[in-house]
Chain A
Amino acid sequence: MSLIVHLAEYRKRAGLTQADLARAAGVSRKTINTIENRIFVPSTTLALMLAQVLGVSVHDLFELEGP
């Protein structure tokens, strides 16, 4: 089962750059970039923080690809 990441989509919809989102979430731009490119899977805390910054549910940002 793999993770589908919609972070870039919601970030762009909110009119934010990776650097803007990183600043708002208190992480580095590289962290946002690696999450968007599915290189790094964030902790629950960071996933919730990103969802909060973008004003969406964490389920909107991440979902599991079906079996």
Chain B
Amino acid sequence: MQSETISRLRAVLLGLTGLGCLAYAVAALAMGRPDPVAWYWPSALGLASGGAIALASVAAGRSAARAAADELFRAVWGRAQGQAYWLSLALFAALGFAAATGAVGWATAYAAQGCLMGAAFLLLFVWHDLRLA
């Protein structure tokens, strides 16, 4: 397995995890409840993706894994983190306002916020990563 394969697998898995988190948050807000499906789905998806990426890296060997996590990867990761930070603050304000005005329950707002923060980072990372492909 080459570093390119690890990169592609990582983009697909993190993208799916991000979409899963986004879907959970949208469903929570639409249904007005913090657990639109079993509460552990977003974290289970994240853990499964992380495990699969780790296994692929081990199978590919040290040099391929190192090349897949080189300085371009770290730069893209850092850019996504920076943008997701500000997006999360904006989401926090929006959901806080929605909860304070009674439009959304506090428990639902917390659940949606947690998932949207994860989704923001993961989808921004995948977006930037695919743009460079």
Contacts and interface: CB of A to CB of B under 8 A. Distances in A.
A29 interface: yes
Interface in B43-85: 63, 66-68, 70-73, 75
Contacts of B3: 22, 28-29
Given A28-B73, A31-B70, 13 more contacts: A22-B3, A26-B63, A26-B67, A27-B70, A28-B3, A28-B72, A30-B132, A31-B71, A34-B72, A34-B132, A40-B75, A43-B71, A46-B71
B7 interface: yes
Interface of A: 22-23, 26-31, 34, 39-40, 42-43, 46
Contacts of B7: 28, 30
A28 B63 contact: no
Most buried by A among B4, B70, B75: B70
B133 interface: yes
A24 B58 CA distance: 20
